[in-house]
């Protein structure tokens, strides 16, 4: 799949000029953030947006105002893109998307130190020939980068899949102990992953609905959360979206045996795509026709081979298993954490945690069963079912929820024909980014205690998406009621 050869000759409309203008306004906001919180000059210290701005009220207003403007322009861009001739729109979407990602890449990772931790853990491998999944950074106290692991994470092994160790290695292998160069390499990787994700979304949608493809790519490439968390904070979740979308593209092109393999590639980066494998297996069986046994067997064998190869060079599945099982050891800013905190006054802490873990696990498994039943009945539902399962995972069993996790389901939502998944993800993204205003500034400026700030942040993160989901359910119920009220002949039609 390639972009249209030229935008020339497209029919000029007011929207044709307004779309790039909207993108340029977004770029101005992105550059303002990058200039206010630059990575160059700050790469040698651990900070966040609060410490970089001395928790000034003006910085809070700048963050809230900048985010509000980004979302307003983003929504305007979505509306305009649907009214622009697709060939012209595609060029604008990708050119502006690349510029936005590059601008945010210049920004210091203001909301998380993960970018620094990537470099520190990668040094465990490239400088000390040890497995980051088995050996923590604290094992090498004399390494010049180990101070950037922080007291919080220095004793922890890598929570990522084994493939991430290999992907992250070239940055520190080439940079040595030059931390700034390693951070720049991870930023470039994040930008490349974002652009690859936009390209794959365009390819998936163009196969079924060419006119909708530019807007679908814009929904991802111009999304403020993707830009802020992916390019700005440099999280590797944009990279996880790439094999996830490759699995979707393989499905759309009926290369079914490749779907499990791409999901395993994703899981070898971060374990989040593992729950999608049962849905993929069901759909491969149901859509396989006479050769279903061969297709399913080949697909699962290929996935197993990919998983085995991802363990190189250490081939320590026990360390990988420990890493995967440790994902739920931290509980913070999630509905599960909120429920546990609410129960602690009624039950002992461990009992409350165990009860909530049981309930959230049961909810997730029930959702998996329902979605499995849906794709069994109609295999073409796999893309939507995959989106719903990832959203459910984040709302239930993701005990340590982080806003950048939303990049995964947002990438899927951009490909879907129904507008509601994307609406829900936009609401979720807006709420998650708004929560930073509370998490960063509420304690020093308003004197709110940390526990109350965390509670408010969870409500901000999950309240908007819950409201959007209820609106979708109400519209669906109204539509079903309208269908049931039609004459029987009309219903059949």
Cα(3)–Cα(88) distance, rounded to whole angstroms? 10
pLDDT value for 483: 79
Beta bridge partners of 107: 38
CB 229 within 8 A of CB 400: no
CB 415 within 8 A of CB 383: yes
User: Quick one: 52 exposed, middle or buried, by C-beta within 10 A (0-12, 13-18, 19+)?
Assistant: middle
What's the DSSP call for residue 379?
Answer: G
Locate 235 and state its tokens. 């999280």
pLDDT < 50: residue spans in the chain: 4-11, 492-493
Closest by CA position to 465, among listed 414, 406, 408: 406
pLDDT value for 489: 57
Cα(247)–Cα(265) distance, rounded to whole angstroms? 10
pLDDT value for 9: 41
What share of the chain in percent tops pLDDT 90? 82
Kindly report the pTM of this predicted structure.
0.94
Residue partners of 79: CB distance under 8 A and separation at least 6? none
pLDDT value for 386: 98
pLDDT value for 12: 56
- Give the DSSP per-residue string, 55-117: T-HHHHHHHHHHHHHHHHHHHHHHHHHTTS-HHHHHHHHHHHHHHHHHHHHTB--TT--HHHH
pLDDT value for 165: 95
């Amino acid at each position: 799949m390639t972009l249209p050869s030229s935008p020339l000759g497209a029919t000029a409309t007011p929207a044709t000029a307004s779309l790039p203008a909207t993108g340029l306004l977004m770029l101005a906001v992105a550059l303002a953030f990058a200039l206010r919180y630059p990575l160059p000059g700050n790469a040698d210290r651990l900070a966040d947006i609060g410490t970089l701005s001395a928790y000034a009220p003006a910085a809070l207003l700048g963050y809230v105002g900048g985010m509000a403007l980004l979302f307003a322009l983003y929504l305007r861009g979505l509306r305009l893109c649907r009214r622009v001739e697709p060939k012209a729109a595609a060029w604008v979407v990708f050119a502006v998307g690349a510029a936005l990602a590059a601008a945010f890449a210049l920004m210091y990772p203001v909301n998380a130190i993960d970018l620094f931790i990537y470099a520190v853990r990668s040094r465990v491998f490239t400088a000390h020939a040890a497995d980051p999944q088995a050996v923590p950074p604290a094992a090498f106290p004399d390494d010049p980068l180990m101070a950037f692991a922080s007291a919080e994470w220095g004793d922890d092994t890598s929570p990522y899949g084994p493939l991430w160790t290999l992907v992250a290695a070239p940055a520190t292998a080439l940079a040595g102990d030059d931390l700034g160069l390693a951070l720049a390499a991870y930023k470039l990787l994040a930008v490349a992953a974002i652009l690859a994700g936009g390209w794959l979304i365009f390819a998936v949608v163009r196969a079924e609905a060419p006119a909708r493809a530019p807007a679908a790519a814009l929904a991802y490439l111009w999304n403020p959360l993707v830009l802020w968390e992916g390019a700005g904070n440099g999280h590797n979740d944009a990279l996880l979206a790439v094999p996830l979308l490759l699995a979707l593209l393989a499905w759309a092109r009926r290369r079914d045996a490749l779907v499990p393999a791409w999901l395993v590639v994703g899981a070898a980066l971060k374990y989040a795509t593992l729950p999608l494998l049962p849905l993929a297996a069901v759909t491969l069986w149901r859509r396989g026709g006479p050769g279903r046994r061969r297709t399913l067997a080949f697909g699962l064998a290929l996935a197993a081979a990919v998983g085995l190869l991802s363990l190189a060079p250490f081939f320590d599945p026990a360390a990988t298993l420990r890493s995967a099982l440790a994902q739920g050891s931290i509980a913070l800013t999630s509905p599960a954490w909120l429920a546990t905190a609410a129960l602690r006054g009624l039950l002992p802490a461990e009992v409350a945690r165990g009860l909530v873990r049981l309930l959230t696990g049961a909810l997730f498994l029930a959702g998996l069963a329902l979605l499995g039943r849906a794709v069994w009945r109609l295999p073409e539902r796999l893309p939507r079912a995959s989106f719903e399962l990832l959203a459910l995972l984040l709302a239930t069993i993701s005990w340590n929820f982080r806003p950048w996790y939303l990049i995964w389901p947002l990438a899927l939502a951009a490909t879907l024909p129904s507008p509601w998944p994307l609406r829900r993800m936009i609401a979720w993204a807006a709420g998650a980014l708004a929560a930073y205003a509370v998490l960063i500034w509420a304690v020093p400026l308003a004197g709110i205690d940390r526990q109350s700030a965390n509670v408010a942040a969870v409500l901000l993160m999950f309240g908007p998406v819950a409201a959007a989901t209820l609106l979708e359910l109400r519209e669906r119920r109204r539509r079903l009621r309208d269908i049931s009220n039609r004459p029987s002949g009309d219903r059949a039609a």
